[in-house]
A and B are shown apart, each in its own frame.
Chain A
Amino acid sequence: VSASTLFLAALGWDLPDWFSVIGFPLTLLGLYVGWRELMRTKDAAVAARDAVRDTQRQLADNHLLLVIPRLLQASRDLEHAVRRPDLEAAQKEMAQWRELAVQVRTLAERKGGERIALIEKIDRAIALIPPAEEALNDGGADPYERTRHARDRIRDAVDEATRIVTERMAFVEIERTSR
């Protein structure tokens, strides 16, 4: 079937035939416009979701910066308690440190993968706290030495937390001075 034959045949088409021929590209155009709108809406939804996620992470980080000083204070109080030595206070402060460390880790996890070093150090410290608590509960002399391993790990976690606060404060200071 040649093109001229088709052209001649088209001359004899009825109105519904012509609508079909014109309607097909229009349908394709409609599909394209719909697809583009869908993509635009989807992009907006993704952007909104990303913005919410970023805000949540930022809030978690700000909250983290509020809890970390309490964690540092709890570790200092624990050190003082085992050095005095005050067994009851040491037990209380170790439990307090663990409670705050769990909060800090939860907030650090919300920040995504950026705080992985802190999370790992807190996990190691928390893993060593129950045996140290048992050692304190057993009583006996020298609670400083009897809790040495757990306190070493607590110190590692606290050092990492301090590094985060220092880094964050430096960042805020740079932002402030650059305005």
Chain B
Amino acid sequence: MSSTASADKLKALAERLLERTRDGRVAWEQTDRELTFATVLKPGSVRIGRTTTAGYSLVVTNGQGTTLEQVAVDPDDPFQATSTSMAALVRILPQLHEMVRRQVLEVDSTLDSMLDQLG
């Protein structure tokens, strides 16, 4: 990520995605990277992922699939919040990732089915 302006915009994007995903207005899907999910947002797409090394990542690509912006945050790293936007991203990305993971993997409906089966 290149500047504070970028961090501000990525923070705004992450906040909006969190809100819209919670409302069920953004459809995410599984990618070929484990725990990485993507959604098409014209004129490009957004991916959110979890890695063992970098914590959580948010990647914005254009319509050709070229990366335009990306940010990686590690909630366990206290020195990463170098700005208010970065501090917000450290807080938002884990929430967004968990929400998306539950949506894509249909966690709640699977648990409900299991509970129904057990009676």
> Which residues of A line the B interface, CB within 8 A?
98, 102, 105, 120, 123-124, 126-132, 134-135, 146-150
In the complex, A126→B36 CA distance in Å?
Answer: 15
Residue of A nearest to B39 (CB): A127
Are the CB atoms of B63 and A134 closer together than 8 Å?
Answer: no
Please state if A98 and B64 are interface contacts (CB–CB under 8 Å): yes
Which residue of chain A is the closest to B31 with respect to CB atoms?
A: A131
Q: Nearest Cβ in chain B — how far from A144, in angstroms? A: 11
A98 CA to B40 CA, complexed, in Å: 15
User: What chain B residues lie within 8 Å of A123 (beta carbons)?
Assistant: 40, 42, 45, 63
Report the minimum CB–CB distance from A27 to chain B (whole Å): 54
Chain B residues within 8 Å of A, Cβ to Cβ? 29-33, 36, 38-40, 42, 44-45, 47, 49, 59, 61, 63-65, 67
Given contacts A131-B36, A131-B38, A131-B47, contact A126 B63 (CB under 8 A): yes
Residues of chain A with a CB closer than 8 A to B33's CB: 131, 134-135
A contact residues around B40 at 8 Å (CB): 120, 123-124, 127
Nearest A residue to B65 via CB reads: A126
Among all A-B residue pairs, the 4 with the closest Cβ atoms? A127-B45, A131-B31, A131-B33, A132-B32
For the complex, give the distance between the alpha carbons of A130 and B67 in Å: 9
Residue contacts A-B, CB under 8 angstroms, 11 given: A123-B40, A123-B45, A124-B29, A126-B65, A127-B44, A128-B32, A130-B61, A131-B32, A131-B33, A149-B30, A150-B31
Query: Which one, A102, A105, A150, contacts B32 given CB within 8 A?
Result: A150
Task: Say how far B54's CB is from chain A's closest CB, in angstroms.
Answer: 13
Q: How far is the CB of A179 from chain B (nearest CB, A)?
A: 40
Which of B36, B38, B44, B64 neighbours the largest number of chain A CB atoms within 10 Å of its CB? Answer: B38
B32-A135 in contact (CB<8A): yes
Q: Find chain A residues with CB under 8 A from B45 CB.
A: 123, 126-127
Chain B residues near A150 (CB-CB < 8 A)? 31-32
Contact check, B63 vs A105: say whether CB atoms are below 8 A apart. yes
Q: Which residues of B contact A98 (CB under 8 A)?
A: 64-65
* Distance between Cα atoms of A138 and B67 in the complex (Å): 18
